Structure 1
Amino acid sequence: MNLVTISTVVAVAITCLSGDVVTAQDSVSDYGQIEIAPYKTVERFNEDTPRYAYEERIYPAAWWVATKSNNGFNQLFSYISGMNANGTKIAMTAPVLNTISQTESGYSSEMAFYIPKKHQENPPEPTGDGVTLKKLSPMTVYVRTYGGWSNIKAIQFELKRLVTSLNRDEKKFLKDDVYTAGYDSPMRFFNRRNEIWLLKDPQ
């Protein structure tokens, strides 16, 4: 998948999701006060040149709750509000992660919430239609962080910057999946945090 195709897929997927959290505007709590999916920063690149800046991170294996529903955020929020087999209320976490993947027929889009540490060993089973638990394998990603209110134009712009930076630095990455991560409530007006992730090529 080349850069043009990636950008097109992201745009179409965001449109089909009706703005659900790919725009980072539907998270319900300030990430400074909630649990964030754990990761280790391996290295930061080009910090002295912001337009080329990105970092490499390692995320350990972890449980997330996910859905491909067009009403994704509400479905996942219902799960953490008690719509699960145990009726357990689960704290909101960050980021809200969207995965846009290339398929034989075009693309697929999936939204996910990280399951908090206290529920990682035995997360309650979802009962909502189309909501599933998903164990993400350990992954190494290249991450481009940007502020402001995210939208299709911003995502495409920052994705292009990340791809340009990786190519410039001769970093190998996988082109079939694009991740967007949103951390903020719509009530947070300043110092907003949005991210684009691309998987590092393990070879």
Structure 2
Amino acid sequence: MDRGGCQMSGGDSGSSTERNGMITLEDLESFSEDQLSDSGNGSLEEEAETMEADDSSDRLLHYWQEVARGHQVEVSQEMAEPIQQLSSNNYGRSQREHVPFTLLMRKEKCGELLFEKRHYEKGHWACITMREDTYEQSICYGFMKIMRYICQQNSVGDYLGMTLPIVTVVRTNEDHSVISQEVTVAYFLPVEHQAQPPQPYDNEIIIEVWPAATVYTRAFTGPTNEVTIINQINAMAELLGSPGVCVNDSFIVAGYTNPAHSHRQNEIWFLERR
């Protein structure tokens, strides 16, 4: 994965030179349980419904700051307006646009859904590549920059609309025991902006066209960190049982709830090789 890009590509990534800047299993085991657990006590969606009634941007900002401290992330005062605007415009889940896809297949066992196979069409995504000390820090800081782009810091000067999921592209070595610290956070442009994507003021955000892709997806709940991602990748690889079918060193974590949610709804995506 190039630093400026978001698209996934195949190929080996297990060479010693590429291991620089990656987090090993030994590193993960040295983290404390508190560091690896999600510190949010409730969803921003639920908190926002209460706070929005009071029109209190300060309360929303303070809530974000409290949650972010648990991930060693700082939320600056300049985030107050984007947080308030995002909460106000997304009051109620029905107003959130989902990235469109075609369901190709569902794999079940004893009534339990194991994974789905989906087809996603070509589309414009706003992407930013981050390289913080931890995955949680990278997605938090990346998401805040994307939020500012969604909320007026764009060439049309208006709120663009929220889409789900917000995705992050991660890379691992060949045996899925090492995860790179460099991740890409990406936001799918709403349908009304796909033809002419608004340009970001932040030059770290890049508008890219992602080609049509077939992905295998598996849902999971809870925090997303280096440990849980490695576990989910290995679990999905075992379920598929055909490692040559998918790209082996780049994966997508799709998030359907805010990073502050204590029981996040997520998916791991494997990209089918072309």
Q: TM-score, normalised by structure 1?
A: 0.76
Q: Is 1:117 matched with 2:179?
A: no
CA contact (8 A) 1:182 1:194 kept: yes
**Residue pairs, 1:186-201, within 5 angstroms:** 192-201=264-273
Partners of 2:184 and 2:194 in 1: CA distance: 20
- Name whichever structure is richer in strand by fraction: 1
Unaligned 5+ runs, structure 2: 1-11, 37-42, 46-86, 131-137, 174-178
Show the counterpart of 1:22: none
| Cα offset, 1:2, TM superposition | 8.7
CA contact (8 A) 1:31 1:93 kept: no
Show the counterpart of 1:46: 108
| Cα offset, 1:176, TM superposition | 2.5
Letter in 2 for 1:36: H
Partners of 1:159 and 1:147 in 2: CA distance: 14
Instruction: Find the partner of 1:178 among 251, 259, 264.
Output: 251
Unaligned 5+ runs, structure 1: 20-24
What percentage of aligned pairs have identical amino acids?
Answer: 23
Q: Is 1:85 matched with 2:155?
A: yes
| Cα offset, 1:101, TM superposition | 3.5
Instruction: Find the partner of 2:204 among 126, 130, 138.
Output: 130
Q: Look up the SS of the partner of 2:117 in the other structure.
A: strand
Which stretch of the first structure deviates more once superposed, 177-186 or 136-145? 177-186
Which stretch of the first structure deviates more once superposed, 143-152 or 107-116? 143-152
Which stretch of the first structure deviates more once superposed, 122-131 or 67-76? 67-76
Larger Rg: 2
CA distance 1:66–1:57, change in 2 (3 Å): same
| Cα offset, 1:188, TM superposition | 5.4
Greater relative contact order (Cα < 8 A, sep 6+): 1
Partners of 1:36 and 1:10 in 2: CA distance: 34
CA distance 1:114–1:136, change in 2 (3 Å): same
- Name whichever structure is richer in helix by fraction: 2
CA contact (8 A) 2:44 2:261 kept: no
Count the aligned residue pairs. 186
Letter in 2 for 1:87: G
Letter in 2 for 1:95: P
CA distance 1:188–1:100, change in 2 (3 Å): closer
Letter in 2 for 1:112: A
Q: Look up the SS of the partner of 2:146 in the other structure.
A: helix
Letter in 2 for 1:40: T
| Cα offset, 1:137, TM superposition | 0.3
